[in-house]
Amino acid sequence: MRLAPLAALALSVTACTKPEAEPAKEARPAATPAIAEAPRSAAGGITPGAARVTECPRTLGGAETQIDRVISKDCGPVTVVEDYRVDNGSLTLEAGATLQFKDGAALIVGASETAKLLVVGTPEEPVTLTSASDKAAGAWRGVELGDKAARSQIKGAVIEFAGTEERALLLAAAEVALEGSTIREAPGPAIRIAGAGSLSAFAGNTLRKLGSKAAIVAPPAGLVGLAGGNRYDGEAVVQVLGGDVAKSTTWPNPGVPLRLNEEVRVDGAGPERAVLNLSPGTELRFGPEGRLSIGSSADGGLVARGTSEAPITFTAGDRRQAGGWGGLRIWARGEAELEHAAFEFGGGGDEGSAALVVEDGALSLRETTFRSNKAGVLVRGAATLRAFADNRFAATRRAVELPANLVGALGEGNAFDSDGRILVTPGPVAAKATWAAHGAPLELTGEVRVDAELTLETGLRVLAGPEAALVVGADAPAALLAQGTADAPIEFRATAGGWKGIKLHGKSLASTLQHVLLYQTGAEPAVWVEAPAELRLDNVTCSQCKAAVVGWQCGASVSQSAVLATDGTPAIDAPPQGC
């Protein structure tokens, strides 16, 4: 029979026979490795040019190429005396096999050429990778699967006393299966996923007695494959490094929080939108500088659909108080859909921040809770609200802040604490809209220009700052229809000192104020009507107002019924003179 060519072996690899009951006390001379007639890879296929070696080595170290090496439990403990590199071949560790590593040594697979690691331990007979000397964390450097070790498998392994402050197991290889394995007594994280590394399976593992709360460290695109059903130390997290999500992906719920200390950006790299999907029950914890940004420079999306039993939580990682982290941001090229989510302790950074900020992007928000935030939802610019309903704001006084043109997009079922506020920033209402009562007052921070039909519904409460005014019909035909009732009137109150009242300009159409209570307006009439606008007042009261309830120009049409001036208001009306 003609044998396959002898493969290249590391000089420090020493072969030995399988140990008998009493192992030899002296090292035997190096033996020629056993070479099979049909070389096969660890996966059962052929590694081109590689020889399959089953002879038991006594030691391993250095570089080994063109070898498909198999080590069984019958070999006993095999000592790795220095870095052991496998390239253009494979290493199979069968059930019960043991590698023991000298101080500072490591197992490195697929760093420069295609290679594979196949660990096939069982619960009864695990494969053990341990220290040859001190049984202390970091005694040896650990296992590195390079970017050319794709589809390696580690099943039923125990990796102990290994690693550095960076990791015990480095995964730069794609589609690695890690199942039923234990990594323990490491000085830092158990696993670091790097580059294009990824997991095809991750279940039944135990990552404990680690020197870092971060059991796993991974880039944003490296979380694929992480699943529940694994065991960790009590305060363990999965640390997500800063960086980009350039194509659509799903972050599974690993059973421990995801920790973000830096900014993660979801921005598509090609013509398609990159969408980040968050699985129900996932908890994201943010450090003071941690952020999640959607669509800042390219099309990006976020889909976070939890359930009532398993909401998706965005919270602070360190400072468990309002403003403990910066917040989630949806930029101009971003869109987000959130349902059954929770935001806690957000709104850190500048005064214009909030737990959820929409900067010109699009938002759908349903059945989501905001609690103990410096600010809840902040919407700015040309943003779009596709849905905003059944949300709960607790211990978040500045609950919502949005432009005047989006107030009408607020849906039903939102709930607020008694001191909650919906802040309305200055700007136009350019399309027909209805402002409904939401359980929290609208707080006008400046002038709102109504350039369409605006309806104010029963029971609406409005707070107005010193520069606030409702200006109707100044630039386009418009109407104000304030439709309160005796039991649920519409109220306008000043936040401090006074406000500028309601102004109906010449392009105003027939407007109505019905069952409206006005408080603390300034030096001009609370309601001013320019010609040729029309206004009907029915059950309107002005209290603590510095001027008359209503005044108008010649040519304006004003009808009054049950209009009252109370609590220091000087007059009911100020009609024009000389008409």
d(CA 499, CA 492): 9
pLDDT at res. 271:
86
pLDDT at res. 21:
37
Q: Where are the domains of the chain?
A: 1-241, 242-425, 450-579
465's tokens: 């700052």
pLDDT at res. 41:
40
d(CA 2, CA 447): 93
Q: How far is CA 300 from CA 106, 225, 265, 283, 342, in A?
A: 40, 22, 9, 21, 21
At 134 the three-state DSSP class reads coil
d(CA 503, CA 376): 31
pLDDT at res. 61:
97
d(CA 258, CA 19): 47
- Read off the pTM: 0.89
> What are phi and psi for residue 240, nearest 5 degrees?
-100, 120
pLDDT at res. 48:
75
Radius of gyration of the chain (CA): 35
Rounded average pLDDT per 10-residue block, the chain, 579 residues? 39 45 35 37 55 94 95 97 97 98 97 96 98 95 97 98 97 97 98 96 97 97 91 96 95 96 93 94 95 96 97 95 93 97 90 90 98 96 96 96 97 95 96 95 97 97 96 96 97 95 96 98 96 97 97 95 97 90
At 561 the three-state DSSP class reads strand
Look-up of token digits 């040729």: 532
Look-up of token digits 């027939």: 510
Please check whether residue 216 is in contact with residue 257, taking contact to mean a CB–CB distance below 8 angstroms. no
pLDDT at res. 351:
67
d(CA 269, CA 255): 30
